[in-house]
Amino acid sequence: MTDRRVVITGTGVISCVGSNVADFWDSLVNGRCGLSRVTKFDVSEYKTQIAGEVADFDIEKYMPKKDAKRMDLFTQFAIAAADEAIANAGLPQNIGDAIDPTRMGVVLSSGIGGLGTLTKECASLEERGPSRTSPLLIPMMIIDINSGQLAMRYNAKGPNMGIVTACATACHSIGESFWMIKRGDADLMLTGGSEASVTRIGFAGFCSMKAMSTLNDDPLRASRPFDANRDGFVMSEGAGAIILEEYEHAKARGAQILAEVVGYGATGDAYHITSPDPEGDGAARAIKVALGHAKLNPEDIDYINAHGTSTPLNDKFETKAIKKALGDYARKVMISSTKGTTGHGLGAAGAFETIACAMALKNGIVPATINYETPDPECDLDYTPNIAREVAIKTAVNINLGFGGHNGALILKRFEG
């Protein structure tokens, strides 16, 4: 079963830099940042006052308003992105009209889930008492509801679950979906991640941790991965959805193929609840595991989309990890963090960035790390500063790391039949 090839046949995006894949990719190529002052709530008392909000999102384009009221925003984002991915893959919304629904699964998760719903219902509990708490609180809030709602929407009856590993969530969701197809449990998987944590409680928690940037007067330049003056990440929201498909299955139905997934590695740091391993050991091992499964050497990698959060610790420790995994070749590989443009999508980040890798392979363009102005001696690799590069690449790695010491690495190759 491990000889089964896995390809990407559809993608969908809802983000602060575009609510479709074409606009999202255009923003990455041209370094168009989507960060701005928060408008969802009063941020005047918060240390961080900027984020990547999804603009002009209209859920009624996707479903009746009465149905949307039964879903948290993170699930609404997931459905919008998934609808695009399904359409781009040339599939009907009712999967059973085109393929065996028992052979399609869903693993599209979130790092945090329904914070907006939880905040609203906690306020209701305090003001009006327990009898007025919504019976939909739990099914709207729980993270696995994404996969449940999506399966019902598309009649997908294969493997169905929610994987939660903080900011590595989407990476692990995609990777585990890859294995489900490889081992024959499914022929097609809808996967990725979504997040809607630009909320009062989400901001309060991350501000208290001093994890986010406080460059409030200059939001377009606040997310600056690998730059010496980086001071924290900038939170963003949205969703990325990906259709993974077994190659022969995709070929038989005449699907267009964007890229091939060839490797996946997942490891743990066992070090700290929020800080990565200072030596980058866990992330390095994830890359090496992925290379092993892909049967590739370090020199086969052309491009790395790094986790690159713009935090002081992540960027220098991730640099160590890349050096440890690739050895001397680390100084020759092209690296970028697209979070300078998109901000940090938390549980959706790995989906955004895997899609970025697929588009880079397909279009022969490596997106830049924008806002890279002052080199950091501890971050001394080629981060593709400020200007995208037109270069035909064959292999790309996406790295995502999460609180709790969760590490994930995915390897994609340009599809060549």
pLDDT at position 190 = 98
94 pLDDT tier (thresholds 50, 70, 90): confident
List residues bridging with 112 in a β-sheet: none
Token pair belonging to 146 = 């994404």
Please report the pLDDT score of residue 333 as a whole number: 98
Catalytic-labelled residue, pool 172, 249, 293, 344:
344
- Of 152, 180, 154, 176, whose CA–CA distance to 164 is shortest? 176
**Which is it for strands 406-413 and 395-402: parallel, antiparallel or unpaired?**
antiparallel
Residue 43 above 80 pLDDT? yes
Name residue 336's beta-bridge partners: 305
The question of whether 172 is a catalytic residue gets the answer: no
User: 33, 167, 171, 207: which one is catalytic?
Assistant: 167
Q: Which of 121-130, 280-289, 372-381 has the lowest mean pLDDT?
A: 121-130
H or E element at residue 351: helix 349-363
pLDDT reported for residue 417: 80
Handedness of CA 137, 143, 148, 149 (dihedral sign): positive
Domains of the chain with bracketed CATH = 7-252 (3.40.47.10), 264-413 (3.40.47.10)
Q: Among 172, 249, 293, 307, which one carries the catalytic annotation? A: 307
Which tokens is 417 given?
A: 């039949």
Q: Is 16 a known active-site residue?
A: no
Q: What's residue 115's pLDDT?
A: 95
The structure tokens listed for 246 are: 């077994």
- Coil/strand/helix, residue 139: helix
The C-alpha angle 34, 39, 40, rounded to 5 degrees, equals: 110
Mark whether 379 is an active-site residue: no
Distance between CA atoms of 185 and 188, rounded to whole angstroms? 9
